[in-house]
Amino acid sequence: MKVSDLVEKLELEVYSGENGLSNLVTGGYTSDLLSDVMGHASENQVWITLQTHKNVMAVASLKDLAAVILVKGFKPDADMEAESNTHNIPVLGTKQEAFEISGKLYGIIGKF
Amino acid sequence: MDFKYTIEGGDFSRAGHASSDVKKLLKQLNIDNQLIKRIVVALYEAEVNIVAHAKNGVIDVSILPDQVFIKLTDQGPGIKDINLAMQEGYSTASQKVREMGFGAGMGLPNMKKNADKLNIESTPGVGTTVELTTFIQ
Ligand SMILES: Nc1ncnc2c1ncn2[C@@H]1O[C@H](COP(=O)(O)OP(=O)(O)OP(=O)(O)O)[C@@H](O)[C@H]1O
Ligand SMILES: [Mg+2]
């Protein structure tokens, strides 16, 4: 599955990193702690979080994550958007809470 | 091959910059992808610790035929009890740093898990030296 498929199925907003919409997605990880994601997320996962600053993109790119989904209507800081464009890792958004969107993502792709 | 980076304490806008650059270098050298991942996780945590906890520091990266050796030397408060600091969940991060999602107390455990060798030396009130060794095959 591609990031663009998730955007469609979960009706996500696309804030930045459009060039990464074709990135492959194999799972997801939900956390607001950067070193938790650093230690436990895997390549090609989508990261669900409420953190909106550019350090999120540093972690996402070092871990080769597929995309970031911001919850509860949070919008990325300008420098987060810029980093997302540089690394071709889309920043997406939803009004839903982490619990709901994580559940829906799990329903679509399961845990690999 | 040797590379050097300087790190400014408190400058979160550049945190991870050195790690990202080292990742690129290792890719160019065709180092195994899983190995690069482990090196970069350990280095990122050590780099961010200088930003979050110290005044300033330098990172020396040596890429040798059989290993990648990284030494991070900082000037800062140092670590009084290294065994305590190594415990998952232990953190002295400020409220501001925690709000950004740092301060879970998982950085040092991540370094331990991902580097083949982790060596930490610290003098309270002076600074800390972290050595990360990863063997290439
Ligand atoms: N370079 C350093 N200088 C001074 N203290 C440090 C340094 N590195 C680590 N410490 C101390 O060790 C503690 C644990 O470090 P660790 O990286 O595991 O967690 P953290 O940085 O607090 O949070 P996280 O890494 O999960 O964002 C820190 O909170 C700090 O007290
Ligand atoms: Mg840390």
ipTM value: 0.95
pLDDT at res. A55? 98
pLDDT at res. B137? 77
Query: Virtual CA dihedral for B21, A15, A54, A5, nearest 10 degrees?
Result: -60
Asked if the Cβ–Cβ distance from B110 to A38 is below 8 Å, we say yes
Task: Give the domain CATH number at A41.
Answer: 3.40.1390.20
Residues B69-79: tens digit of each pLDDT = 999 999 999 99
Residues A24-63: tens digit of each pLDDT = 999 999 999 999 999 999 999 999 999 999 999 999 999 9
Q: Which residue stretches of chain B have pLDDT < 50?
A: none
pLDDT at res. A87? 97
Report how many domains make up chain A.
1
Distances (CA, A) of A36 to A18, A72, A78, B27: 26, 21, 24, 24
Asked if the Cβ–Cβ distance from B44 to A58 is below 8 Å, we say yes
Residues A55-85: tens digit of each pLDDT = 999 999 999 999 999 999 999 999 999 999 9
pLDDT at res. A112? 44
Asked if the Cβ–Cβ distance from B20 to A58 is below 8 Å, we say yes
Confidence of residue A96 (pLDDT cuts 50, 70, 90): very high
pLDDT at res. B15? 96
- CB B50 within 8 Å of CB B57: yes
Of B37, B40, B106, the CB nearest to A35: B106
pLDDT at res. B64? 95
Mean pLDDT score across all residues of chain A? 96
pLDDT at res. B107? 98
Sheet with A91-93, edge to edge strand ranges:
A13-16, A91-93, A67-70, A45-49, A27-30
Residue in chain B closest to A49 (alpha carbons) equals B101
Distance from CA of B123 to the nearest CA of A (A): 25
Query: CB under 6 Å to ligand 1: residues?
Result: A 35; B 45, 49-50, 52-54, 74, 76-79, 85, 90-93, 102-108, 128
Of all ligands present, the nearest one to the C-alpha of A35 is: 1
Domain hosting residue A51, numbered range = 3-109
Which domains occur in chain B, in start order?
2-135 (3.30.565.10)
